[in-house]
Amino acid sequence: MKALPDSIRSSLVLCTLLLCFISGARAQAVPPNTVTFSNHQVQASFTLPSSLDLAVSLEFEQAIGLHAANLMLTAEVLSPTDPRIVDRLPAAVTAVSSFPVLVSVVPDPLQGFAFAGAASIEFYTQALHYDSNIPWRLFTSHDGDTFEDITTLTTAGSYRARGSTGRFSDFLILLDSRAPHTIISHKVQRLSETIYDNQELLPAPLALTLDTLLRTLQTALLLLNNQAALLATDELISLLENTSGSVIPDVWRADGAITNVRGELLARLYTLRYSLRTL
């Protein structure tokens, strides 16, 4: 076989080296430096490249099978332009260039981990400094879907963000430049979808009460009556917090076999309340 010209051979070598470099440079998901499991809580601490630090806390109303063999936590520093972030962002939401850290919480579907109600997740980092004028928010994405805001608290020290969820997947801090009414409208829409998508799982009296309060909330927002909207949101939260799992499905299992309706609804209501309070 005829040998390749030196120029082509050199180009192939260069391309191979470049591909190896790109592959080697790709960020890697890393486990926490330390992690503890106790009393329905998980505390994990990460030290990441570029001197980024992150502490992640998970807290559950109730959980079974909560230990290291059943629940894997990883963190990864991505490029702010990485398609894994950019392609999953709503309009006017962007990655935080100084903290493009993606946290994944991955339960083993074969090990029986489960929890009831809404779980809380908190990020704490010294790599960011809290500023009430900068809309950094905690977002989540499940199974590659679009990221959505789940924030229930942001505060100093140096930056702390908390959110609620009825299931587990990917989490990261994003810069949310959307108008407040756009954020609230989207959260109400997602709340409405969650109620109606799971209506067949709800007893008729509860479904009717949820529908009535949801309509009250929507009407208040149409009338720009934020106080009435907040009151309706609080009523919905109180109703669901005082409704047991014997009435509404409220368990999430790692195998994904059942829907945590109560947890999903509460998570959506908690973050809606945050947005209404911070108008």
Structure tokens at 160: 């702390």
Residues 6+ apart with CB under 8 A from 8: none
SS3 content of the chain, % helix, strand, coil (to 5): 35, 30, 35
Q: Above 50 in pLDDT, residue 251?
A: yes
Cα(first)–Cα(last) distance of the chain, in Å? 73
Complete DSSP assignment for 50-102: TTEEEEEEEE-SEEES-STTTEEEEEEE--TT-HHHHTTPPTTEEE-TT--EE
Residue 21's pLDDT is what? 36
Let me know: does 75 contact 111? Beta carbons within 8 Å: no
Read off the pLDDT of residues 80-96 as tens digits, 9 standing for 90 and up.
999 989 999 999 999 99
Residues 6+ apart with CB under 8 A from 150: 121, 138, 139, 140, 163, 164, 165, 267, 271
pTM, rounded to two decimals? 0.89
CA distance 225 to 123: 32
Q: Above 80 in pLDDT, residue 51?
A: yes
**DSSP symbol at 118:** -
Read off the pLDDT of residues 203-242 as tens digits, 9 standing for 90 and up.
999 999 999 999 999 999 999 999 999 999 999 999 999 9
